[in-house]
Amino acid sequence: MFRGVRKILNMRLFEDEAGKMWKCSVKEKDYEVLCLSQITLYHRLKGNKPDFHLAMAPELSKSFYGKFLEEMRNNYCEERIKATVIDGNYRTIFTY
């Protein structure tokens, strides 16, 4: 997890003052980071349908996400880390 946090915060995705792309990181630009819990990013295709059976169990994933957010806040400005879980429940279907 620590490697992932370092990668997110230090990856050079943004332009510098001269307009050259891929020169600055989130930290260098003092940008905010929005973190979302998103199980649909971890799936395999089973025919034409997504299969989530290899995804982390809800209890473990909630704990893991909490630790991830804690690491993000410990390695960057706490007020710059924005986090949300859409409906507060893991692995549930929600409606808009």
The pTM of this model reads: 0.77
pLDDT of 86 over the 90 cut: no
Measured between alpha carbons, how far is 4 from 79 in angstroms, rounded to an integer?
20
Measured between alpha carbons, how far is 22 from 12 in angstroms, rounded to an integer?
5
Give catalytic status of residue 40 as yes or no.
yes
DSSP state of 14: B
pLDDT tens per residue, range 54-85? 888 888 888 888 999 999 999 999 999 998 76
pLDDT of 96 over the 50 cut: no
Measured between alpha carbons, how far is 68 from 60 in angstroms, rounded to an integer?
12
Average pLDDT over residues 42-63: 86
* Res 19: pLDDT: 97
Q: Are 71 and 2 in contact (CB under 8 A)?
A: yes
One-letter amino acid identity for 12?
R
- From the candidates 40, 84, 92, 95, which is the catalytic residue? 40
* Res 20: pLDDT: 98
Q: Which CATH architecture has domain 2-84?
A: 3-Layer(bba) Sandwich (3.50)
Kindly report the average pLDDT of the chain as a whole number: 86
